[in-house]
């Protein structure tokens, strides 16, 4: 029969202490790793936030200028093409050529209508006014919708918070827009970060 030997109190205490040290070291490593990740990811947050807004805005501006109201592409203002009734073939941009650093932008977006099967029902229809502007530190998308034959309701959506500036400029067919994202004062040496983009105004 084999000789069986138990563990002494000293051996058990030493093993417990050793195990505690290993667990403690692992916990410190995990905590430091999380802190490092937080520090690394923190500077990315504002960029990701503003990039999403910039892409949405650019996409809608491109849609607004797609083909314009010139449905037959002959360059002439024909019957049924001036949906916004301003006498020109355009998306009724509020931004005149040469305008610099305007705080808001309004336009009518070109939309197409489809049935449930995806078949095109109508094209070249223009929406009511859409406006991008700031309300305090919130970036607002404001639009109008018909609620009856003669009534219109204004709707608002907050696209982003913590926005310190919004500017639109136009040179010919090029529309430039910039958004300033406010940064946490305890994390960054500057108080804001600016992103700028351009879209081609096709009409």
Rg over alpha carbons for the chain, rounded to the nearest Å, is 29
Domain ranges of the chain: 10-41, 47-200
Half-sphere exposure for 49 (CA within 13 Å, toward CB): 21
**pLDDT confidence of residue 66:** 60
* Virtual torsion, Cα 20, 24, 30, 34, nearest 10 deg: 150
Based on the number of CB atoms within 10 Å of its own CB, is 67 exposed (0-12), middle (13-18) or buried (19 or more)?
Answer: middle
User: pTM here?
Assistant: 0.64
pLDDT tens for the chain, residues 1 to 203: 555 566 666 666 667 676 777 776 665 554 454 444 444 444 446 667 778 888 888 988 887 766 556 666 676 778 877 766 777 767 778 898 999 999 999 987 766 667 788 777 766 556 678 899 999 999 999 988 777 777 878 899 998 888 999 999 999 989 999 999 888 877 667 788 889 999 988 76
181 burial via Cβ count (<10 Å: 0-12, 13-18, 19+)? buried
- Report pLDDT for 191: 84
The whole-angstrom separation of Cα 124 and Cα 112 is 6
Q: Hey, is 121 helix, strand or coil?
A: strand
pLDDT score of 100: 97
108, 61 Cβ separation under 8 angstroms = no
Provide the pLDDT for residue 46: 64
Give 19-36 as a DSSP string.
Answer: HHHHHHHHHHHHHHHHHH
What distance in Å separates the CA atoms of residue 86 and residue 107, rounded to the nearest whole number?
Answer: 12
* The two structure tokens encoding residue 92: 């009724």
Q: From the CB of residue 195, how many other CB atoms can be counted at a distance below 10 Å?
A: 16
What is the structure's pLDDT at 170? 95
Question: What's residue 72's pLDDT?
Answer: 66
């Amino acid at each position: 029969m084999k000789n069986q030997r138990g563990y002494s109190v000293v051996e058990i205490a030493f093993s417990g202490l050793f195990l505690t040290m290993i667990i403690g070291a692992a916990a410190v490593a995990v905590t430091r790793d999380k802190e490092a990740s937080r520090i690394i990811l923190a500077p990315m947050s504002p960029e990701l936030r503003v990039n999403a807004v910039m892409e949405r805005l650019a996409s809608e501006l491109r849609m607004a200028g797609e083909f314009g109201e010139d449905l037959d592409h002959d360059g002439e203002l024909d019957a049924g093409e001036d949906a916004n009734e301003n006498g020109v073939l355009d998306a009724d941009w509020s931004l005149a050529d040469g305008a610099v650093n305007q705080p808001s932008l309004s336009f009518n977006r070109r939309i197409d209508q489809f049935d449930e099967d995806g078949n095109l029902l109508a094209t070249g229809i223009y929406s009511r006014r859409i406006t991008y502007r700031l309300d305090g530190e919130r970036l607002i998308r404001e639009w109008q919708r018909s609620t009856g034959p003669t009534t219109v309701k204004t709707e608002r959506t907050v696209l982003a918070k913590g926005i310190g500036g919004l500017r639109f400029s136009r040179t010919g067919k090029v529309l430039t827009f910039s958004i300033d994202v406010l940064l946490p004062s305890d994390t960054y040496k500057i108080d804001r970060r600016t992103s700028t983009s351009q879209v081609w105004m096709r009409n």
